[in-house]
Amino acid sequence: MSFNFIIILWFLFVITPILLKYFKSDPNKYWPDVKTLLDYVFRKVPKINSEVEYYAFRLVLVFAICLLYLSLKLEDSEVYSDTFIPTFIQILCLLNFAYLSYLMSDELFDTFWNSTISLFSFFFIFTLASGIINFILVETDWTIIWMNRRTLIVGPNFISQFGDEIWRLWPPFYLLMILLGAGYGTLGEDKKKFLIPYGIFCIVLLVALGYNAAYDSESKSGAIVSGPDSTWGTTYKYHIFDDTSEFPEGWEERTFDDGVWKSGKTPFGNNNLLIEETGKTIKQRTTWESNSTEGSGAYLILRKNFTIEDKSKILGATLKLAYPNYHAAYLNNQNIEDCLDEKSDCNYNNPDYWNREYDIEWDLLDEGPNTLVLVGQDDLSEGHDNMTWLDTELRLKISNQGFDATKALLYMAGAFMFGLLSFFCVHYYCQNSEEYIINYIQSILINLAIISFLVMIFLLDPPGEYEDDYFWNAEDLLGTGVKPAAWGGLVLNLIFATAALVVGFGMGIALAFGRRSNLPVFWMPSVGVIETIRSGPLVAWLFFAQILVPDLLNPVWEADIASRVILVLSLFFGCYLAEVLRGGLQAVPHGQYEAATALGLTPIQTKLQIELPQAIRTTLPAIVSMMIGMLKDTSLVYFFGIYDAFRVAKDLPAQWDFIGQHEQSLLFVGMIFWGLSFYLSKVSRRIEKNLGLTHEGGGDVT
């Protein structure tokens, strides 16, 4: 749907009735405006009663989007793109949207400005929607994400160096699911509200983990069995025969014994080959000296035996051949090409380098020993003075599917089962309980959350490295673990955010109270710290953490970059929290403080138990939005060599198979962050509603 179409619609059905109004008293009799047009078009459609209107609306909307997707997919395919069918489906989709606007036509098309805004914003929405659907579902190749999903979650170091240490992340995942289920269970609301999103979440994650996206890797990432630079070795067993009648029995079969033959490396020739097109010369490595002077020339047979240990990783092979006059190729007794006699497509006089390439199917290769046999014939005709040449390369295409997802799928399904179980148990218990029991359970869950975070850190990097520092050597039990410098991916972002938030909360509360104090020993340092840290951007403080903090702290604490980053992030968050809490603490009525003092509470008790809860309650929306901002800001650490999710996404397109595919990886990681932030802001809105902090109404309609 193009912009011209909308302009035409606008002129015909919005502008013209307005103009007609100046000439005719009832313009709708002569020319329809948008509302009457819609009424006329959909006059035969039966009315929907208000009970099912909610579902009918959404159903039609989903149907329209499906039609849009279908039309875009068909337009992109080769079979249907020339026919009328995609356009037809798009017209159907537009009719659906027109029906939706008919349902809402009282709101959308009553005044001139309303109609204009509706038409143009509909155009905008439609273009955006079709662009998004086209990009995500039709056009783009998302293999980069499927192939690298583990790297995005845990970072490249885990995959390359510590691949078998991923088991350390499963217990925290189980704990997280249990806590999540239990947390939602304490809310005591209708079961369906949790189960439907939870079910969708589980299914999406299971599909994402288990989806089998095998693909053909580019030939440069395969393994070379035999060729100029190979790991399998370049030597062939060869022999020169004068005539085909001299070929021994079974020369092309695997079982033939070629032990007595000579060994040589390709290329075989007796002249360096000059390729005229490029002007380059290629040296032979093994001389092909044939003594025949009559007939068509002597024959050279090459044999190569190689072993494939794990056939499941191989997708196929390619065989390249630079051939002389007549040639043939056999792999594992199967004939790939037979040009030993003069045939219609086999007679070429000039040896061209690398111009025959054969695709070898997976079935032709065997697990275990394989044999490649090649035959080439000398070329004596017409003044070619034995320009005999034979070179070959066999390249295996290796699948990039690095890991076996069955075990991981089982673990993940187990975690989801545990989450569901804990939800049901806690929900059943909390359904008919008093509120104070529910609060008690929630506080237990919070403590469990902190403990599970510490358990995760403990499992990932068990102490025991320094013998005199730790009184407990856990490395014997749990292995060396993975150092924080090797952590990465989305898990690292979450670890940073959680640690910074928890530590930063303590710092922020201390700084807030310190700032409010009357005693100089407390407020002077607090004000100094808060104003200094708030003056610079987070990037500057991370730069400080990377370069200057080691100088300051190294004699006392050899902190690696992850710990320094957490320290600085928590300081940063603490200062902003202190500013927000300052406003909240000022809003606590002074009478509370006086009453607490009259009751005999010590200053610390009044601060922590009377003033702080009231302050946090008032400022909770601001605090939660700052926490969400901190989660997003953890993506800044990429600049300091830490492989968080953003850095991984930035560097993924450097892989040979996926060069230049920046959009997919960046959008994917962006959408992960977006999803987390969106979910957390929904949670925060719910918290605000529970605390009674939102106010409905106000001058809302503009």
Partner 1 sequence: MIERIALILILTLVLLPFFQKYLSSTVFYYISNTINYSLFASIYYILADSFVENTLLNLTPNRIQNLSIGFNILPEAVDLAWVPTIILSFVIALGFFLLQNGNITPRRYDLSIQFLAILAFLPFVLYFWTNILYLKENDSSWVFDLVFMEEMAGFTLSNEWPFQTVLQDTRWQFYRVGLLNAIRVVILSIIGSTIVGVLVGVSRLSRNRLLSSLAESYVEFFRNMPLVVQLFFLYTVVLGANLPTFEFIQDNTLFGWVYWSNRGIVGPGATIENMRYLLAAIVVYLGARTYIRLTERILPENSDRYSVDSIGKIIENILGEDQRNKSRMAVAVDIFFSISILIVLYGLFNIVEWNYKISFIEGILENDPISMFKLGIILFTLSALLRFKLDDLGFNNFTVDDSIEGQKNRLYLWSITILLMFVLFYFAILFKQPNLITEENGEPLGWGSWDWKEGTTNSISSVFLSLWIGLTLYTAAQIAEIVRGSIQSLPRGQVEAAISLGLSPYQRLNLIILPQALRSMIPSMTNQYLNCWKNSSLAFVVGFSDFYAVFTTIVNNVGQAVPVFLMILATYQAGSLTISAIMNYINSNVTKVKI
In whole angstroms, what separates CA 289 from the centre of its chain? 57
Asked if 248 and 256 count as a contact pair (C-beta separation under 8 A), the reply is: yes
Closest distance to partner 1 from the beta carbon of 271 (Å)? 38
Q: How many Å apart are CA 668 and CA 145, to the nearest integer? A: 8
Does 670 contact partner 1 by CB under 8 A? yes
193 CB-side CA count, 13 A: 7
Q: How many Å apart are CA 201 and CA 343, to the nearest integer? A: 61
Does 544 contact partner 1 by CB under 8 A? yes
Closest distance to partner 1 from the beta carbon of 697 (Å)? 6
At 23, is the secondary structure helix, strand, or coil?
A: coil
Site string for partner 1, 625-664 (x = CB under 8 A): ---x---xx-xx-xx------x---x---------x-xx-
Closest distance to partner 1 from the beta carbon of 591 (Å)? 19
Does 53 contact partner 1 by CB under 8 A? no
Closest distance to partner 1 from the beta carbon of 117 (Å)? 5
Number of residues that bind partner 1 (CB under 8 A): 62
At 463, is the secondary structure helix, strand, or coil?
A: coil
Does 532 contact partner 1 by CB under 8 A? yes
Does 467 contact partner 1 by CB under 8 A? no
From candidates 80, 232, 411, 673, binder to partner 1 by CB under 8 A: 673
Q: Which is nearer to partner 1, 267 or 508 (CB)?
A: 508
Does 455 contact partner 1 by CB under 8 A? no
Closest distance to partner 1 from the beta carbon of 494 (Å)? 14
Asked if 452 and 165 count as a contact pair (C-beta separation under 8 A), the reply is: no
Does 521 contact partner 1 by CB under 8 A? yes
Q: How many Å apart are CA 197 and CA 184, to the nearest integer? A: 12
Q: H helices then E strands: how many in the chain?
A: 25, 14
Tell me which stretch binds partner 1 (CB under 8 A): 104-112, 140-148, 265-273, 387-395: 104-112
Q: Which is nearer to partner 1, 354 or 557 (CB)?
A: 557
Write the single-letter amino acid at 539. V
End-to-end CA distance of the chain: 30
Does 524 contact partner 1 by CB under 8 A? no
Does 543 contact partner 1 by CB under 8 A? yes
DSSP string, 635-648: GGGGGGT--BHHHH
The vertex-668 CA angle with 221 and 73, nearest 5°, equals 85
Does 526 contact partner 1 by CB under 8 A? no
Asked if 404 and 229 count as a contact pair (C-beta separation under 8 A), the reply is: no
Closest distance to partner 1 from the beta carbon of 602 (Å)? 7
Tell me which stretch binds partner 1 (CB under 8 A): 9-17, 265-273, 402-410, 519-527: 519-527
Does 406 contact partner 1 by CB under 8 A? no
From candidates 79, 260, 519, 654, binder to partner 1 by CB under 8 A: 519
Nearest CA among 491, 503, 537 for reference residue 643:
491
Does 3 contact partner 1 by CB under 8 A? no
Buried b or exposed e, range 290-324, using 16+ CB within 10 angstroms = bebeeebbbbbbbbbebebeeeeebbbbebbbbbb
Closest distance to partner 1 from the beta carbon of 521 (Å)? 4
Asked if 305 and 255 count as a contact pair (C-beta separation under 8 A), the reply is: no
The alpha carbons of the chain give a radius of gyration, in whole angstroms, of: 37
From candidates 677, 684, 685, 688, binder to partner 1 by CB under 8 A: 677
Closest distance to partner 1 from the beta carbon of 696 (Å)? 9
Q: Which is nearer to partner 1, 211 or 470 (CB)?
A: 470
Q: How many Å apart are CA 542 and CA 561, to the nearest integer? A: 10
Does 431 contact partner 1 by CB under 8 A? no
From candidates 125, 274, 599, 687, binder to partner 1 by CB under 8 A: 125
Does 141 contact partner 1 by CB under 8 A? no
How many CB atoms sit inside 10 A of residue 643's CB? 22
Query: Is the bond leading into 267 cis (omega within 30 degrees of zero)?
Result: yes
Q: Which is nearer to partner 1, 217 or 563 (CB)?
A: 563
Name the H helices within 485-560.
Answer: 489-516, 520-535, 538-547, 549-553
Site residues (CB under 8 A) for partner 1? Answer: 104, 107-108, 114, 117-118, 121-122, 124-125, 470-471, 518-522, 532, 535-540, 543-544, 547-548, 551-552, 555-557, 602, 628, 632-633, 635-636, 638-639, 646, 650, 660, 662-663, 666-667, 669-670, 673-674, 677-678, 681, 695, 697-702
